[in-house]
A and B are shown apart, each in its own frame.
Chain A
Amino acid sequence: MNFFTSKVNDALGWARKYSIFQYPFVTACCGMEYMATNAAHYDQDRFGAGFPRFSPRQSDVLFVVGTISQKMAPVLKTVYDQMCEPKWVVAFGVCTCTGGFYDNYATVMGIDTIIPVDIYIPGCPPRPENVIDGLIKLQEKIRKGEQARTLYAPSGHK
């Protein structure tokens, strides 16, 4: 019996990883590199990830692209809560990973203090090749069916 369920899990993982419906939560400069990765030169569609769904109810990967300010944080949490399971989160750009060089009163130092993050793509902005590398790592995670669940304390800057 276990043999069959593990085969079914493998098939599900394979199907899910090649049909990624992303919700691009684009705020800032990283959005330009996101658009470049989506376009014809560095194509994202070859990985099955080329069709962004602009509604959180219909998507399974939340790409947080660009700095999240304190004013925007509740909106991000609402959008994350509106997505259905299984869901993954990609922190695109260093402003979402740790806050970048905007250590001030207006920015959130890393979105993993608010929502659990699966893949971190650093860079300011990351080159499209980095993005595709992150996407392949995400596909590996999706295939295994692992999801992140933990939040972290804010990264220390004194």
Chain B
Amino acid sequence: MTETRSMLLNVGPSHPAMHGVIRLIMEVDGEKIKGVDVEMGYLHRAFEKMCETMMYAQCFPYTDRLNYVSPLINNVGFALSVEKLLGIDIPVRAQYIRVIMSEISRVTDHLTCIGATAMEMGALSVFLYMMKAREYLYELIEEITGARLTVSYVRIGGVKADLTQGFADKALQKIAQVRRVLVETDDLLTRNRIFFDRMKGVGKISAQDAISYGITGPFLRSTGVSYDVRRAQPYLIYDRLDFEIPTGTQGDNLDRYFVRMAEMEQSLRMVEQCLAQIPQGDVNGDLTGCVIPAAQMVDRAKMGQTEEFIEDEVTTDPTLQGSTRKYYNAINAPKKDVVLPAKEDTYGNIEGLMNHFKLVMYGHGIRPPVGEVYFPVEGANGELGFYIVSDGSDQPWRVRVHPPCFPIMAALPKCLVGGMMADLIPTFGSVNMIAGELDR
């Protein structure tokens, strides 16, 4: 007399799908999945607790490492929440720069997602092509911000430094190269019999279930619900840009792939429009006097030779050392209690130095009013919201991140149960779980 029982199988926490650490405890009967339990928390790095011990400006490096494939979107989200709490507006050029960097980050996120998913199904060349396209974008990001991955580029009240000379041409060239890679990927995957069969009808979720689980982003848009935070509650200058919101119909893996490919094209279009529309920076004052490196200015000041400093213009590396007077007004809000002064003022006169001091030392710093705000931005996986409670001091009382992939992972059992073991891999890949964001 034979008796059949289902088997308990452990997938993870350390497993080849290079998405991060998560543990799926699956109950399988042969190849069919009967039950899934998701266990997370393997990358819990206490982001929220650390932010309570830091000043507002010191939280930016922690926000980079939340969704580490699109770090600029997290930076922008946090900065916008604090700016809403303070009630300040930033100059238009800085808003355009933030949008350009956000959209480039969104493209790198979708490239990584599709590349990793395709690699796990055996299409290794697609992964290499996507990484090549990502390298082009990393070169762009590195030129502006100074780092490839963990950038900390955005500041409260503006951005760290202006775009470099000749950025627009370089960006358009790289965008054309990325578009070519997307066309190659499309040729390789979209009408590929194996890819199609493995992704179609797999990992389905209905629109009603998705809404009940609180899912947003490409996952929700693939079920047919057209909700995008950039359209519903436009922030920065998204209301001046012309873009479409791609939606799917079935809510399965193939639709999520199509939605992400279409979103990448829309993001590249948005970057081109921004580069065409961006207003020129203000040039503040006359450029008489010589131009000297900032370090030299400090050295001469230490020796007491400060006579010409009123007119001097200082050069700093635009990606490393902060803003000079020439670009200051274009990228920073005109609020002395929030943004650091221009480098000529910091090194050249005592008022600038005191301003810098009051913003940087412990016990001083940015002091928002007592209150709380919630600000949603459109992250690559969905609605990324920051809920910040302030008690009037220089450290936030509570920072809460609403991670877009948290509800998606809660809904993962619903997508998987009833399918086969092999369907786990493409479904999990198309979920685009980023452990840094999920576990914070």
Contact = CB atoms under 8 A, between A and B. Distances in A.
Question: Touching in the complex, A and B, CB below 8 A?
Answer: yes
Interface of A: 24-29, 31-36, 39-41, 52, 54, 66-67, 69, 71-72, 75-76, 79, 101-102, 104-107, 124-125, 127
Contact of B149 (A33, A41, A76, A106): A33
Interface in B108-132: 112, 116, 127-128, 131-132
A113 to B, nearest CB: 17
B128 to A, nearest CB: 5
B43 interface: yes
- Interface SS of B by simple majority: loop
A27 B435 contact: yes
B42 A125 contact: no
Contact of B20 (A31, A54, A71): A31
B20 A69 contact: no
Interface stretch (B61-69, B194-202, B243-251, B412-420): B61-69
Instruction: Place the interface of chain B in its size category.
Output: 35 or more
Interface in B386-440: 435-436, 439
Interface stretch (B11-19, B291-299, B367-375): B11-19
A36 B43 contact: no
A72 B13 contact: yes
Contacts of B138: 36
Interface-centre pick from A66, A71, A76 (highest chain B CB count, 10 A): A71
B46 A106 contact: yes
B41 interface: yes
B46 A105 contact: yes
Per CB-CB distance, the 4 closest pairs between chain A and chain B, nearest first, are A39-B131, A29-B68, A54-B16, A104-B46
Interface-centre pick from B13, B21, B149 (highest chain A CB count, 10 A): B21
B50 interface: yes
B128 A32 contact: no
Contacts of A35: 18, 112, 116, 131
Contact of B42 (A34, A40, A71, A101): A71
B335 interface: no
Given A31-B18, A34-B18, A127-B148, 20 more contacts: A24-B18, A27-B20, A28-B65, A28-B68, A28-B435, A28-B436, A33-B148, A33-B149, A35-B116, A36-B135, A36-B138, A39-B132, A41-B135, A69-B44, A72-B43, A75-B13, A102-B45, A104-B46, A105-B46, A107-B45
Interface-centre pick from A40, A105, A107 (highest chain B CB count, 10 A): A40
B75 interface: no
A27 B43 contact: yes
Given A27-B435, A69-B44, A72-B43, A39 B135 contact: yes
Contacts of A41: 131-132, 135
B18 A39 contact: no
Contacts of A31: 18, 20
Contacts of A104: 45-46, 49-50
A38 B128 CA distance: 9
A69 B138 CA distance: 28
A105 B135 CA distance: 35
A66 B14 CA distance: 12
A18 B433 CA distance: 34
Contacts of A27: 14, 20-21, 42-43, 435
A106 B127 CA distance: 33
28 contacts: A25-B14, A26-B18, A27-B20, A27-B21, A27-B42, A27-B435, A28-B43, A28-B435, A29-B149, A31-B18, A32-B69, A33-B148, A35-B18, A35-B116, A35-B131, A40-B128, A41-B135, A69-B42, A69-B43, A69-B44, A71-B42, A72-B13, A72-B42, A75-B13, A75-B14, A101-B62, A107-B45, A127-B148
Contacts of A36: 131, 134-135, 138, 148
Contacts of A79: 14
Given A39-B132, A102-B45, A32 B21 contact: no
B60 to A, nearest CB: 12
Contacts of A66: 43
B378 to A, nearest CB: 21
B150 interface: yes
Contact of B44 (A32, A75, A106): A106
A22 B198 CA distance: 29
Nearest to B41: A71
A39 B128 contact: yes
A32 B148 CA distance: 10
B68 A69 contact: no
Interface string B118-161: 00000000011001101100100000000011100000000000
B284 to A, nearest CB: 35
A38 B86 CA distance: 44
